[in-house]
Structure 1
Amino acid sequence: MGVLEDKARARTFYKYLSKVYDRVNPFVWNEEMRDEALAMLDLDADDRVLDVGCGTGFGTEGILQYTDDVYGLDQSRHQLAKAREKFGKHDPVAFHYGDAERLPFKDNTFDAVWSSGSIEYWPNPVEGLREIRRVLEPGEWTVVVGPDYPNSTVFQKVADAIMLFYDEDEADRMFAEAGFVDVEHHVMQAKPGSPRAIVTLARAPDEHASD
């Protein structure tokens, strides 16, 4: 387990990163990449959408281009404070402080779930994915964005020491174990030489099986 897959350390990390996150993020995950990934969800105006690990609201902004029925959840109060500051007191987003591995929502609540830049900090990513499946309506879709595993042996060692990096084979295993079907992956990169993102589109089965 990487050092930032510990929730307390991750919260401390984001306490300081929240101050510069919106300036740093575009070098790894920019608007063009976000919008391409969001288009995979094929959202409608009346869809209820959850943003898991919403951070300062970069993904949330993209979701709001499709629907106003948006919920954001994050375990960092500092990131949530930045998001609320960005959207204002009367924004349409219902922000929640909470844990991706214990989502505070009822079964079958959402028409789609989005999560970008969050799974790499989950100590038990399969549990987080199961929670996403639980709160999704049967047959509906999620997009989860995480860091693609580096090719370089040196960077692999660094990546393993920090947080979760994974390739398509590992993503297949995690999503299958979490109960998803129709799983597909897309690797994106802001520019040559920058870190790659692995974007996974997956569907909750038509009938939710008990875990």
Structure 2
Amino acid sequence: MDHMMDEPGEQPWSKLKSTIYSAIFRNPKSTKVTLATVTLAADDRVLDIGCGPGAAVRQIAGRVASATGVDASPSMISIARKRASHLTNVEFSVRPAERLTFKDGAFSVVWTIQSWHHWNDPEAAYRQVLRVLAPGGRFFVVEKETDGDHGITQTEAAALAAKLTNAGYSDTGFSKVDKMIIVSGVAG
């Protein structure tokens, strides 16, 4: 599946599409489930991959040391920056999951909330996430349980957990929370 593409030949997240999406999905259920499930500490440094308009990043800003959002869409990052301009411990950059330019061990928590299914090269992204996670850092893939394209099945979640193990993560597994599936792993 092409990163951030919906239909063959469609351009990735235009400014209009990003604006409409961000107006309709200001705080989707997936963000609520993630924030209710993932325990955060005041010293956590969080990376949100595929952050879209930055809802999760803004919501955790007051609870963590820093929150960073990346998205392949310049339009989404523009919206996220505008909405978070008053926050001092937040930053956003245009970047796909497969090309993270952060320092090794820069983050204690990395998550992707309903954007994993858009990744072009998941195996490369898993390696990048593992690299930017500090030892003991946690990685979460949060997707809607589905039998279609935009989400993940339990069979796919089990396969993803195995891929994370093969990539070097420990304590991998998945859980189901309110029709969402959360696959997780810990950096060694």
Interval containing the TM-score (normalised by the shorter chain): 0.7 to 0.9
Equivalent pairs counted in the alignment come to: 184
Structure ID, larger Rg: 1
Residue range with higher mean Cα deviation, 90-99 or 42-51: 90-99
Identity fraction in percent: 30
- Report what 2:23 is aligned to: 23
Return the match for 2:180 from 180, 197, 209.
Answer: 197
Point out 4+ residue stretches in structure 1 off by more than 4 angstroms.
Answer: 2-6, 8-11
Question: Does the C-alpha gap of structure 1 residues 110 and 131 become closer, same or farther in structure 2, counting only changes over 3 Å?
Answer: same
1:79, CA displacement in angstroms? 0.3
Is 2:162 the partner of 1:179?
A: no
1:9, CA displacement in angstroms? 6.1
Amino acid in structure 2 at the alignment position of 1:184: G
- Report what 1:74 is aligned to: 71
Q: CA contact under 8 A between 1:10 and 1:121: conserved in structure 2? A: no
Structure 2 residue matching 1:131: 3-state secondary structure: helix
Describe how 1:121-160 pairs up with structure 2 within 5 A: 121-150=118-147, 156=148, 159=149
**Aligned CA-pair RMSD:** 2.8
Question: Does the C-alpha gap of structure 1 residues 9 and 39 become closer, same or farther in structure 2, counting only changes over 3 Å?
Answer: farther
Question: Does the C-alpha gap of structure 1 residues 2 and 96 become closer, same or farther in structure 2, counting only changes over 3 Å?
Answer: closer
Q: TM-score, normalised by structure 2?
A: 0.81
| Greater helix proportion | 1
Question: Does the C-alpha gap of structure 1 residues 45 and 21 become closer, same or farther in structure 2, counting only changes over 3 Å?
Answer: same
Distance across 2 between alignment mates of 1:4 and 1:60:
19
Highest RCO, 1 vs 2 (Cα 8 Å, sep ≥ 6): 1
Structure 1 unmatched ranges of 5 or more: 151-155, 190-195, 206-211
1:43, CA displacement in angstroms? 1.5
Structure 2 unmatched ranges of 5 or more: none
